[in-house]
A and B are shown apart, each in its own frame.
Chain A
Amino acid sequence: MKLKEIIDKLSLKVLTNLEDNEVSGVYISDMLSDVMSKAQSGNIWVTIQTHKNIVAAANLIDIAAVIITHGVDIPQETIELANRYNVVLLSSDDSTFVLGGKLYQAGIV
């Protein structure tokens, strides 16, 4: 499934430049070490972390997009760094739990 389709289905807010990456699954974690070891290239990464080092981790694994939940404010410096490294940042007002359910319902596993 393409990222744009998921954004439309789940009414996600796009915070950065958008690359319509192919999405191959979802990984939910707030620990960068966990993401580094277990997330797969092409996954959507769901987290509440907003520090700009999420860009370093997402770029390393080649994550399709990072979705930040709970409507948390994202620092501008994180958005700017993400744009430099072509990391797509998205935002959702849903909780991580609810968003995970919606992603599953959308057929992304």
Chain B
Amino acid sequence: MTSAQSVRFDLKCKLCNTLVTYDELSGLMLCTGCKTDCDVYRLLQKYSGKRTWIYVAFGFKPFSDKTKLSNEKIAILEDYFNQRRKSSKSSIKIVPYEMINDPDSCTGEFIMDSSLLSLTPPDKKGLKIED
């Protein structure tokens, strides 16, 4: 038995105290290029030479305009993570989930806390049990 929980947060500017809430965001997913006919895949191909990696900002189902994350909030999120990549020669780009042609069959890598409440014995997970 395993468990998983996605990562949710808000952002607050340290300089002006402006709070940007991300109630509409259910989590971020790294595009792994699983479907060649997907618009996100095409973007990944376009940017991969520049070492820009594509992340998808997911909302909640049922997907609708009411629950849609605005482009402005996505841009703020992208800026936030790129600012933290100070030592990097690469960057990230965040796109809305609407770009995914078929979200239900997408096999990108969702960032989530997994197996923290797992009941699987340690030896089954690769952890070694000392004698």
Contacts and interface: CB of A to CB of B under 8 A. Distances in A.
B40 to A, nearest CB: 14
Contacts of A61: 81, 84-85
A42 interface: yes
Contacts of A49: 114-115
B87 A62 contact: yes
A30 interface: yes
B35 to A, nearest CB: 16
A62 B110 contact: no
Given A62-B90, A72-B126, A73-B126, A52 B113 contact: no
Interface string B98-119: 0000000000011111111000
Nearest to A22: B87
Q: Is the interface of A mostly helix, strand, loop or mixed?
A: loop
A16 interface: no
B111 A62 contact: no
A69 B32 CA distance: 26
B84 A70 contact: no
Contacts of A32: 7, 111-114
B30 interface: yes
Contacts of B9: 33, 36-37
